[in-house]
Amino acid sequence: MATFLTTIFHSSTYPYIHKEVIMVASDSLIALNQIINCISIIVYGWIWNNKSEKLFNFYPVYCVLETVFGILTTIYAITTRNIVAYYLLDTIVFAVITRNICCGGVKLRAIRYNSEEKREHFDNNNNSVSSLATILGSVIAMFLNLNFEIMLCVATFGNMIDNLFYIFIFYHTKECRKKRKYTYGDYM
């Protein structure tokens, strides 16, 4: 459900936002975005591989931070109309905060789907739901004719919903993990 809803928000606004950004971003800026994101993947992947348990405790904080900074960058883009600066700020937020959510999401899925078969079914179903939502969102995008500012607000709202789902899933998983540990921990 979380994937479906958030993907519809993203895919229905992405064509508009992407078009506006690409129209003003230079080749060098787009390359810089890629470099920053790849460095972030390398660095945070290494950090999470070494400090996963400690960092995972802060997972809801990353979700809240991403929501707050997403709202702030959206407000900045709307008030200044500086899409290049928005793109840079969004790149930094993604590289620092969202990357932690991605790494924590890997751990969250590993905990929730703790067998090869469960994980395989989740991944396949999640990909299918994501693709269906992308198709629906893209069809919606074909018929929408809203301005950039409204699209940013809709995308930001969709991201907020995504983070709320992640926080809920985190605490639900944590509670289930405690119950399993309490119930079976003394006998294993």
Which distant-in-sequence residues (6+ apart) come within 8 Å of 82 by Cβ? 76
Over residues 123-132, the pLDDT tens digits come to 999 999 999 9
Mean pLDDT of 54-83: 97
On whether the CB atoms of residues 91 and 25 are closer than 8 A, the answer is no
Of 75, 55, 77, the C-alpha closest to 67 is 75
What the chain holds in terms of domains, given with CATH numbers, is 1-178 (1.20.1250)
DSSP letter for 186, please: G
> Is there a contact between 98 and 40 (Cβ–Cβ < 8 Å)?
no
Q: What is the pLDDT of residues 9-46, one digit of tens each?
A: 999 999 999 999 999 999 999 999 999 999 999 999 99
Q: How confident is the model at residue 87 (pLDDT cuts 50, 70, 90)?
A: very high
Mean pLDDT, residues 81-107: 96
Dump strand ranges (E) for 3-153.
none
Residue 3 has pLDDT above 90, yes or no: no
Tell me the backbone φ, ψ of residue 72, rounded to 5 degrees: -65, -40
User: CA–CA distance from 144 to each of 7, 16, 17, 162 (Å)?
Assistant: 16, 9, 13, 22
Q: What is the mean pLDDT of residues 179-186?
A: 56
For the entire predicted model, the pTM comes to 0.87
Instruction: Give the helix ranges, DSSP H, for 57-98.
Output: 59-80, 83-93
